[in-house]
Structure 1
Amino acid sequence: MTDTGDSRGLLYPTRLPTFRRVPAPDDLTDVVRWFWIPVWRLAPGRTSRQNLLPFPASNLVVQHDGTVLSGPTTSASYRDLHGHGWAVGTLLRPAGLAGIHQAPKEIRDIEIGFEAPGLYESIRAAMTDPGNVAGQDLAVEHYCRWLREHLLEPDETALLANTMEDVVSGDRSVLRVDDLAERLAVSVRTLQRVADRYVGLSPLAIIRRYRLQEGAARLRAEPDTAVGDVAADLGYADQAHFTSDFTRTLGMSPTAYRRDQRDQRGVSSEVDASGGERSPDPS
């Protein structure tokens, strides 16, 4: 079962607006990892910056103003929230993306408008009261119905791509492309083709993303653990290699990220009556 409590990818969890993850029903777990639903209502002039180190995957997102397909990213990213709004998104599995876009590397680091007749209208109708959980659940039901009607049954290669994702996500000892190819009993060349077709990133980029997500989560949860120990636990040869990867991807060193976390814990977020976060300061 997918762990919807997985905090990897959220660089500053305390800055999140009201946020839910809903697991995919059993018949859709090959195409969707989970549904995610943020709802926000910020005071005039306020901004809430959401910093992310996204999963190496794509998302299909119905927003209050349209539907977008967000491709895989090569670095950390952020989104500034203003005013009020909502979204109902799906974190797509590799096999799910294959049924939506044929060349995921073409949407790397960008999002594009997506034509999904009936999907936007049904979800917008369900989200007339965004903070209402029953309405959110109805939106997910509409989303599931659309996916069942529009996505084909994954073929063997698509399921291999899912297995690749599962192995990298669940086994931190996988650090090299050779390791992953051996675990899947395929050649490195086959692995490269599968990653390119179903994810849009190289196998090495997928591996590094999961390891860096885990590293960020450790730095956040264990403020007294030495950076070198985190690097060693993640299989890095030394602290310098971990620091180099971390800084190149997140734009800051592990030490700077940890310092930001300590500063963030000293700032309390207000929550308004609707349940939306009010960020205390533009960040």
Structure 2
Amino acid sequence: MRRTRGVLYPARLPEFHRLPPEANARDLTVWFWIPEWNVEPGRSSRQDIVGYPALNLVVEQGAVTLSGATTRASHRDLSGSGWAVGALLRPAAVATLADDPAALVDDEAIIDAPDLVSAVGAAMRTGAGHRARAVTAFSDWLAHRVGRIDGAASQANALVDVLMGDHAADTVEEAATRLAVSVRTLQRLAHRYVGISPAAMIRRRRLQEAAERLRLDAGLDLSALAAELGYADHAHLTRDFRSVLGIAPRTYRAAAGEEPAEGAGP
């Protein structure tokens, strides 16, 4: 998965880092994401995101929040100064954190984890290398919390790799064939470990790819893009864009093209 695919307006990001997990958490986390911001008084920085179909575990402001998969674009307005350390979770990490991931879709829950808050907070308050130390502390906590992963959790990880990774499957049936399981098994794994259906995961990947391609190529033909990404036609792509982002692809492309250069102010 490309690291800016889910960010709709990358030039608006505060100082933002994505770091790989430690070896003990590679089956549990795709990456850790760490924004740090210091916005001028009286101003704010809006972050628009169409998230990956996955759960995120986030340490911020003395609390730990588990956020479910999303079905629509979301935003957050940053003000003042602060930081967050989040883990984009792989399915294998989910079972010990949420009994029913589907109940967290477009929602979030507070996780009682004072030891994680303490460890990550202490790391972020240190000097140079603080982000790497925060990732180490977070990785260690996850590895201890989850323990040994079972066969179903490993299958769920493979499911997400097939649906969201490089050379991803275009249909649920193709994904099931690659994994040598039934479509029904695929659906059960997605419900238990992600909270949304495999078909919804494919739709989200296509939409993220469409948004990224539109940002990078101002002259891209929308009909050709729709065909390349597996949409029935240009109208299908437009409906999907509107249903999730609330705007048409052409409108989004124009707005993304007007963004300030990377590294500019909020």
- Residue 237 of structure 1 pairs with residue 223 of structure 2: no
One-letter amino acid of the structure 1 residue matched with residue 102 of structure 2:
K
TM-superposed CA distance for 1:264, in Å, is 1.5
**1:109-258 equivalence runs, <5 A:** 109-128=106-125, 132-171=127-166, 174-258=169-253
TM-superposed CA distance for 1:141, in Å, is 1.4
User: TM-score, with normalisation over the residues of structure 2?
Assistant: 0.95
- Residue 37 of structure 1 pairs with residue 30 of structure 2: no
Given that 1:172 and 1:235 are in contact with CA atoms closer than 8 Å, whether structure 2 keeps it comes out as: no
Q: Separation in 1 of the partners of 2:135 and 2:19?
A: 8
> Which residue among 38, 54, 59 is the counterpart of 2:56?
59
Structure 2 SS opposite 1:224:
coil
Structure 1 SS opposite 2:57:
strand
Q: What runs of 5+ residues in structure 1 fail to find an aligned partner? A: 271-277
Structure 2 SS opposite 1:264:
coil
Given that 1:36 and 1:90 are in contact with CA atoms closer than 8 Å, whether structure 2 keeps it comes out as: yes
Given that 1:172 and 1:211 are in contact with CA atoms closer than 8 Å, whether structure 2 keeps it comes out as: no
Q: Separation in 1 of the partners of 2:246 and 2:253?
A: 13
The more displaced of 172-181 and 51-60 is: 172-181
Given that 2:162 and 2:168 are in contact with CA atoms closer than 8 Å, whether structure 1 keeps it comes out as: no
Given that 2:190 and 2:197 are in contact with CA atoms closer than 8 Å, whether structure 1 keeps it comes out as: yes
Q: Separation in 1 of the partners of 2:62 and 2:143?
A: 24
TM-superposed CA distance for 1:173, in Å, is 6.0
Deviations 1:90-115 (A, max 9, x none): 00001111221121011111121111
Given that 1:49 and 1:81 are in contact with CA atoms closer than 8 Å, whether structure 2 keeps it comes out as: yes
> Which residue among 98, 104, 109 is the counterpart of 1:107?
104
TM-superposed CA distance for 1:6, in Å, is 2.1
Given that 1:73 and 1:108 are in contact with CA atoms closer than 8 Å, whether structure 2 keeps it comes out as: yes
Given that 2:164 and 2:201 are in contact with CA atoms closer than 8 Å, whether structure 1 keeps it comes out as: no
Q: Separation in 2 of the partners of 1:252 and 1:31?
A: 34
Q: CA RMSD in A?
A: 1.7
Given that 2:67 and 2:107 are in contact with CA atoms closer than 8 Å, whether structure 1 keeps it comes out as: yes
Alignment coverage as a number of residue pairs: 266
Q: Separation in 1 of the partners of 2:128 and 2:146?
A: 26
One-letter amino acid of the structure 1 residue matched with residue 53 of structure 2:
P
User: Percent of counterpart pairs with the same letter?
Assistant: 46
User: TM-score, with normalisation over the residues of structure 1?
Assistant: 0.89
Given that 1:223 and 1:258 are in contact with CA atoms closer than 8 Å, whether structure 2 keeps it comes out as: yes
Q: Separation in 2 of the partners of 1:199 and 1:88?
A: 21
Structure 2 SS opposite 1:186:
coil
Partner of 1:274: none
Partner of 1:77: 74
One-letter amino acid of the structure 1 residue matched with residue 58 of structure 2:
V
